[in-house]
Amino acid sequence: MNQKAYARAGVDIDLGNRIKATLPRLLAATHRREVLGKVGGFGGLFALDTRKYRRPVLVSSVDGVGTKLKVAFALGRHDTIGQDLVNHCVNDIAVLGAEPLFFLDYIGTGELEPRVFTEIIKGFAKACAENNCALIGGETAQMPGFYQAGEYDVSGTIVGVVERARMLDGKSIKPGDAVVGIASSGLHTNGYSLARRIFFEQMKLQPGSRVAELGNSIGDELLKVHISYGPLVQGLLKKFNERDGVAPSLKSRSASRRSPAIKGFAHITGGGFVDNIPRVLPKNCDVVIRRGSWEMLPIFELIRAKGAVPEDELYQVFNMGIGMVAIVAKEDFRLVLRFIHARKHKAWLIGEVTNGRGVVRIV
């Protein structure tokens, strides 16, 4: 059979159709009862059950994985990238108190490789299922001549929902509140351009090089999956924040108190502590983060020792071992820490809110 002209030009529509025919099986684990229609339509359909909410607010976010992809290309491993993207997006809407509803992906590549495509989609499906988020659609674009051989880009859009009265906006944050840091698994999805320069150019490592301080190869360390804090955040809000702002475990202590225990979250992504925490602060508040108040992951110790990067910049580029920050009423932070630890996440009291002008200080 003669090859079609479009395939000779680099775009194999028939191959794409054969690969996409496997999607219903791959996406089955992400199905929610609100999903209508079938995979492959012009638009994904999701029937929001408005009876569950008084005043539902839809929350959306879009993101990519950045140059972490370069590590995946170098190692030929593509099964974690989809998880990174979904979990990053889940965390971005979780800080507002939203639970994820559905996710859509975009994959752009020069030549569609079935194994790579399947690994990426499996990653999307795994993370969506773990976050109770439906994967309802996406787009795969073959663009020969646009990407280098063997490379691709991915991005994703997530939509979630939160009850308006329960939405976290940071307005109740005040001086004296505690700052709780929740551990990351590593770099997550930010700072890779600098990390790759340090490890692969300055230190002359190869992706498969084993690094004693890490007990791992540098490539495997850099591909550790971005943690999803979505289920943990929902658990914290259910435990400590009610519609009237008083959690059941706190009512006996202070029947008159109306302010919620959990006042805000910040996802520590691009911009680190310095640029992300101010996004949830009132204009009259600062946050002081205390160095050494949490267990620094070995990869960040290595970056600090070998990177020749100013200390202040490290906390603006990297998460430094803290993937999510919770701002909590001072009197409740021990209960919050206990709850987080019971959910098998490491967490520490890493700072406090002070009077100020909406900035973060690392001391």
Q: What is the pLDDT of residue 9?
A: 63
Based on the domain organization, do 324 and 275 belong to the same domain? Answer: yes
Based on the domain organization, do 124 and 40 belong to the same domain? Answer: yes
Does residue 172 fall inside a structural domain? no
Does residue 311 fall inside a structural domain? yes
State both tokens at 51: 């009876």
Task: Tell me the C-alpha to C-alpha distance, in Å, between residue 331 and each of 174, 176, 253, 335, 351.
Answer: 13, 10, 11, 9, 14
State both tokens at 138: 């996406």
Does residue 215 fall inside a structural domain? yes
Based on the domain organization, do 144 and 286 belong to the same domain? Answer: no
Does residue 139 fall inside a structural domain? yes
State both tokens at 115: 């194994």
Q: How far is the C-alpha of 325 from the C-alpha of 360, rounded, in Å? A: 12
State both tokens at 260: 């919620």
pLDDT band (50, 70, 90) for residue 31:
confident
Q: What is the pLDDT of residue 244?
A: 44
Does residue 233 fall inside a structural domain? yes
Q: Which CATH number do you get for residue 31?
A: 3.30.1330.10
Q: What is the pLDDT of residue 1?
A: 53
Q: What is the pLDDT of residue 246?
A: 43
User: pLDDT averaged over the chain?
Assistant: 90
> Could you tell me what percent of the chain has a pLDDT over 70?
90
Decide: 181 and 348 in contact? Cβ < 8 Å. Answer: yes
Q: How far is the C-alpha of 350 from the C-alpha of 69, rounded, in Å? A: 31
Does residue 171 fall inside a structural domain? no
Based on the domain organization, do 272 and 305 belong to the same domain? Answer: yes
> Half-sphere exposure of residue 52, counting CA atoms within 13 Å on the CB side?
9
Tell me which of 166, 186, 219 is where a domain ends.
166
Q: What are the backbone angles phi and psi of residue 216, rounded to the nearest 5°?
A: -165, 165
Does residue 326 fall inside a structural domain? yes
If residue 272 lies in a helix (H) or strand (E), which one and from where to where?
helix 272-276
Residue 241 confidence (pLDDT) above 60: yes
Task: Tell me the C-alpha to C-alpha distance, in Å, between residue 12 and each of 26, 40, 170, 260.
Answer: 22, 17, 50, 55
Q: What is the pLDDT of residue 256?
A: 40
Based on the domain organization, do 276 and 338 belong to the same domain? Answer: yes
Tell me which of 143, 166, 189 is where a domain ends.
166
> Half-sphere exposure of residue 151, counting CA atoms within 13 Å on the CB side?
13
Q: Between 258 and 75, whose confidence is greater? A: 75
Residue 12 confidence (pLDDT) above 80: no
Q: What is the pLDDT of residue 16?
A: 66
Mean pLDDT of 31-49: 84
Decide: 213 and 301 in contact? Cβ < 8 Å. Answer: yes
Q: Between 258 and 260, whose confidence is greater? A: 260
Q: What is the pLDDT of residue 75?
A: 96
Based on the domain organization, do 194 and 330 belong to the same domain? Answer: yes
Q: What is the pLDDT of residue 160?
A: 98
Does residue 173 fall inside a structural domain? no
pLDDT band (50, 70, 90) for residue 23:
confident
> Half-sphere exposure of residue 181, counting CA atoms within 13 Å on the CB side?
27
Based on the domain organization, do 72 and 200 belong to the same domain? Answer: no
pTM, 2 dp: 0.91
Based on the domain organization, do 347 and 240 belong to the same domain? Answer: yes
The per-residue pLDDT for range 115-174, each reduced to its tens digit, is 999 999 999 999 999 999 999 988 889 898 899 999 999 999 999 999 999 999 999 999
Based on the domain organization, do 103 and 127 belong to the same domain? Answer: yes
Number of domains in the chain: 2
Based on the domain organization, do 235 and 158 belong to the same domain? Answer: no
Domain that holds residue 117: 5-166
Based on the domain organization, do 161 and 237 belong to the same domain? Answer: no
Based on the domain organization, do 272 and 223 belong to the same domain? Answer: yes
pLDDT band (50, 70, 90) for residue 257:
very low
The per-residue pLDDT for range 128-141, each reduced to its tens digit, is 999 999 999 888 89
Tell me which of 138, 166, 194 is where a domain ends.
166
Q: Which CATH number do you get for residue 208?
A: 3.90.650.10
Q: What is the pLDDT of residue 313?
A: 94
